C-alpha cells in the first residue's frame, strides 16, 4: 500500500466523485480510478461501489477509509516534525495580554529566531492549564489572586504540574502612552469610575 492510494481514496470519498477528486488532486479521473483499483486488488476486496449516482463505500471500504484518514494525518505530523527538526519549538499559552505578547515579541527579536520558533495562544486560565496538562503548550502563564494560589497549587499537584510565581503585584492599571494616567504612580478607586475600561 502507498500513501498516494490512501490520499486518492480519502479525497474521492470526501468529494463523493472520482471526477471531483481528479480536479482536487490535479490529475485525471482514469488515473484516480486506476490507483483505487490497484488498492482494491492488493486488499482483495472492493472498497468502493460505483454507480451512475457516484461512489460510496462498501462495509469493508468504511474500515479502510477510517484507517486511511489516520494514516494521512500521521504522515502529515511526521512531515511537520521533520520541518521543525531544524529549530526548537516553544509553545506558550497565556491569558490574553498585550504586555506578555509584547515581551515575547521583544524576546523573539533578541534571540536567534532561525533556531527558535515560538507559538503563542491565548485563553482563560482553565484553558491554559488544560493546554499544559495535555502537552499542547510547554509553558502556561496565568494571573491569579493571592486567595486562589493554594487551591491552584493543589489542583496542579494532582495533575503533576508545577507553578512558579513570576511576579507579585498589587492591583494595577496599564495605560497607553497617550492616556492621561500614563505617568501616574497611583490612581484612587473613585477615579476608576470615570474610566470606560478597567
Report yes or no: 163 and 141 within 8 Å, Cβ to Cβ. Answer: no
From CA 69, how far away is CA 53, in angstroms rounded?
24
End-to-end CA distance of the chain: 61
- All domains of the chain in start order, with CATH: 3-83 (1.10.10.10), 89-167 (3.40.190)
This prediction has a pTM of 0.44
Radius of gyration of the chain (CA): 27
pLDDT tens-place values along the chain, 198 residues long: 888 999 999 999 998 889 999 999 899 999 999 999 999 999 999 999 988 888 999 999 999 999 999 898 888 888 776 655 566 778 888 887 777 888 888 887 887 667 777 888 888 888 888 888 888 888 888 888 888 888 888 888 887 888 888 888 777 777 888 888 888 888 887 887 777 764
Amino acid at each position: 500500500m502507498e500513501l498516494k492510494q490512501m490520499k486518492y481514496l480519502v479525497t474521492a470519498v470526501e468529494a463523493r466523485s472520482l471526477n471531483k477528486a481528479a480536479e482536487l488532486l490535479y490529475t485525471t479521473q482514469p488515473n484516480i480510478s486506476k490507483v483505487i483499483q490497484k488498492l482494491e486488488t492488493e486488499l482483495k476486496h472492493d472498497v468502493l461501489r460505483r454507480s451512475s449516482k457516484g461512489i460510496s463505500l462498501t462495509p469493508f471500504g468504511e474500515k479502510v477509509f477510517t484507517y486511511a484518514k489516520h494514516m494521512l494525518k500521521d504522515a502529515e505530523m511526521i512531515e511537520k516534525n521533520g520541518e521543525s527538526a531544524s529549530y526548537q519549538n516553544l509553545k506558550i499559552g497565556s491569558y490574553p495580554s498585550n504586555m506578555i505578547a509584547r515581551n515575547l515579541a521583544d524576546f523573539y527579536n533578541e534571540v536567534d529566531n532561525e533556531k527558535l520558533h515560538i507559538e503563542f495562544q491565548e485563553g482563560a486560565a482553565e484553558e491554559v492549564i488544560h493546554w499544559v496538562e495535555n502537552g499542547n503548550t510547554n509553558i502556561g502563564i496565568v494571573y491569579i489572586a493571592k486567595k486562589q494560589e493554594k487551591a491552584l497549587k493543589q489542583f496542579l499537584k494532582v495533575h503533576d504540574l508545577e507553578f512558579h510565581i513570576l511576579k507579585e503585584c498589587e492591583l494595577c492599571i496599564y495605560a497607553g502612552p497617550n492616556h492621561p494616567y500614563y505617568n501616574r504612580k497611583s490612581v484612587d478607586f473613585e477615579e476608576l469610575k470615570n474610566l470606560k475600561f478597567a
